[in-house]
Amino acid sequence: MGWRRNDAGDPTFRREALTHADALHGFAHYLTGTDNDASDLVQETYARALAASEQFLPGSNLKAWLYRILRNAFIDRHRRDVKGPTAPVSIDDVDDAALANPSLSAFDGDRVASADLEAAMLALPEASRTVILLDFEGFDEEEAAAVLGCARGTIKSRLFRARAALRELLKDYAPVRRLHGL
């Protein structure tokens, strides 16, 4: 990582940050549910990242840092939109409700279509989607903990519960259990 601290104008920093744009957009899409909102959220993420570039330390995980900014921007937007509580809802409070939801209708074919998987992911609470998406993106438990601002053990627990909720939503389709360790 060749950029210096406090230098958002450094083309190396900008170039490296932009390599994560597609992955951030995919993550944002699952959080927001629409491409337009996802694009807005990614744009806000990059604006915040550039404005706070002095907080990024060389040698740190830029991808995890950008994901954390995106997640925080999503939470901030949600709070503004609903004028609700000031703290995000805990995954431990919402996953039991996801497990109690009726499963999705039976699937056709021998594999999960992307639309079916997307529908199941969108049916999960935001906190569950977030931890599963970080896992899908290849974040290890340590990196996911950095993104979500919690302990590594919490990530293990959340991921276990989120996978269980996704399995429940897709229970009528047996081959899904082979997907990414579900």
CA–CA gap between residue 79 and residue 64 (Å, rounded): 22
Residue 158 φ/ψ, nearest 5 degrees: -65, -40
User: What pLDDT is stored for residue 60 in this prediction?
Assistant: 87
pLDDT in single tens digits along all 182 residues of the chain: 444 443 556 778 888 999 999 999 998 988 888 899 999 999 999 999 988 888 888 888 999 999 999 988 988 887 777 764 444 444 444 344 433 433 333 334 434 456 677 788 888 888 888 898 888 888 899 988 888 888 999 999 999 999 888 888 877 765 544 555 55
Which SS3 state, helix, strand or coil, does residue 86 take? Answer: coil
Q: What residue ranges define each of the domains in the chain, with the CATH number in brackets?
A: 11-82 (1.10.1740.10), 91-181 (1.10.10.10)
The string of pLDDT tens digits covering residues 3-46 is 444 355 677 888 899 999 999 999 898 888 889 999 999 999 99
Residue 85, CA distances (Å) to 24, 34, 77, 78 in order: 26, 24, 12, 10
Quote the pTM value: 0.59
DSSP state of 105: P
**Total Cβ atoms within 10 A of residue 161:** 20
User: What pLDDT is stored for residue 12 in this prediction?
Assistant: 82
